[in-house]
Amino acid sequence: MAEAVGPKKFAATAVMKEIMDRYFNRLMGPGAEGNNIAYCTSVGPAELLIALGFEVYYPENYGAMLGSSRMATDMIPLANARGYSPDICSYLTSDIGSYLKGEGPFRKMGFAGPPKADVLVYNTNQCRDVKDWFEFYGREWEVPCVGIHTPRAVGDVDGAIIDTVSRQTEALVKPLEAAAGRRLDMDRFKEVIALSRACTELWKAVLLTAANHPAPLSFFDGTIHMGPAVVLRGTQDAVDYYNVLLPELRKRIADGVGAVDGEKYRIYWEGMPIWGKLKNLAVQFIELKTAVVASTYCNSWIFEDLDPDNPFDGMARAYTNIFICRDDRWKEEYIRRMFRTFNVDGILYHNAKTCPNNSNSSYSMPQRLQEKTGKPFVIIDGDLNDLRCYSEEQSRTNIEAFVEQLSQ
């Protein structure tokens, strides 16, 4: 019988499972009682929270779990009935729906459900939805909901912007100390930032391995292995994990092993993953001998401006410099650099219906970039979690036609 086509396995995955299990147990396991829990947005001030002794929980990560497990579509209507529109972030609607329904992937893992927050901390650098999302739980549990309001569509990240974001981050210390019941230890804060920075450097090195031909990992692998960079940055566990994964990738390079056997074409993925269809898409690209070698999404957890010697300003710079927070001119330059680094043949834009913040195909960017670089593009309509917005058949046909175009 012919072997089924699918993504190649990594030995490091077993290590990742161990550290993720430990993380979930600290949040929801038997020993979690008495731990202070802070909810944090994915590009929020995690380092400050860890330094204050909080266990940090990221609802967006849970949103992605709801998407991957395809449970999201059943949860979203419950949030809609509470007045959260089907047009807004489907992480938000699937997470709130899961809370209202009392069901979700954590149940299947043996936990009662996501932990209850002692404090909720957001940064609007990515979108306004995160604030509305966290305020729901703030009202529900009557706990403080505090955050940073970062300007968006930023051109130059200048001194005035850093100043305002840095001051807002510093102003969080007092309410967070009150919620944590302890004072911020600056030495510990610097240590956490140094760990976060070390994680960033390793994660960047992991992603850069895909610049090789053939690429030893794909975007689809990246969406799985980014877990520790997202939820455990600022901890030794994340650093340890990438110190295991990176040598495995380097060995693949030395052995000439690619994520896609017989790699013929290389493309860039712009926009959110379609969590419920990652496996199907990965298989389709393998069959088409096309490696999705780089993405905006996986690279969004690289924070090179973190600076242990300058914690607040460094965090302000790192969390304002992110792609989603920048203007189109900056984004286009960024993607052009990525084209060169990863030597791509074309680009796929995922137009996610409920996340215009992370979709970049509606204001003529694909056409402008094609004109400047000569690289063809395809736009796939879909969503991160709401599969009612995604036509698998149509996407498969469009992707096939796109790869056919690359071959010409």
Residues near ligand SF4, by CB under 6 A: 60, 89, 91, 126-127, 129-130, 355, 357-358, 384
Burial per residue of 48-80, b for 16 or more beta-carbon CB atoms within 10 angstroms, e otherwise: bbbbbebbbbbbbbbbbbbbbeebbbebbebbb
Which residues does residue 148 pair with via DSSP β-bridges, in sequence order?
Answer: 123
Burial per residue of 317-346, b for 16 or more beta-carbon CB atoms within 10 angstroms, e otherwise: bbbbbbbbbbeeebbbeebeebbeebebbb
Minimum CB separation of residue 67 from ligand SF4 in Å reads 10
Minimum CB separation of residue 99 from ligand SF4 in Å reads 16
Distance CA 375, CA 88 (A): 31
Minimum CB separation of residue 89 from ligand SF4 in Å reads 3
Distance CA 70, CA 61 (A): 14
Minimum CB separation of residue 130 from ligand SF4 in Å reads 5
Minimum CB separation of residue 41 from ligand SF4 in Å reads 7
Whichever of 288 and 348 has its CB closer to ligand SF4, that residue is 348
Whichever of 251 and 388 has its CB closer to ligand SF4, that residue is 388
Minimum CB separation of residue 373 from ligand SF4 in Å reads 26
Whichever of 50 and 272 has its CB closer to ligand SF4, that residue is 272
| CB burial of residue 93 (10 Å; 0-12, 13-18, 19+) | buried
Whichever of 209 and 223 has its CB closer to ligand SF4, that residue is 223
Whichever of 313 and 386 has its CB closer to ligand SF4, that residue is 386
Structure tokens at 34: 């008495």
Minimum CB separation of residue 264 from ligand SF4 in Å reads 32
Whichever of 221 and 383 has its CB closer to ligand SF4, that residue is 383
DSSP string, 239-299: HHHHHHHHHHHHHHHHHT--SSTT--EEEEEES---GGGHHHHHHHHHHTTEEEEEEHHHH
Residue 335 · residue 360 · CB < 8 Å: no
Whichever of 118 and 129 has its CB closer to ligand SF4, that residue is 129
Residue 294: closest CA among 211, 377, 396, 362: 211
Distance CA 378, CA 35 (A): 47
Q: Please tell me whether the peptide bond between 214 and the residue prior to it is cis, using omega within 30 degrees of 0.
A: yes
Minimum CB separation of residue 354 from ligand SF4 in Å reads 7
Distance CA 146, CA 37 (A): 14
Whichever of 130 and 378 has its CB closer to ligand SF4, that residue is 130
Q: Which amino acid is at 351?
A: N
Whichever of 19 and 322 has its CB closer to ligand SF4, that residue is 322
Q: How many helices and strands, by DSSP H and E, does the chain display?
A: 19, 8
Place of tokens 């509470």: 82
Minimum CB separation of residue 358 from ligand SF4 in Å reads 5
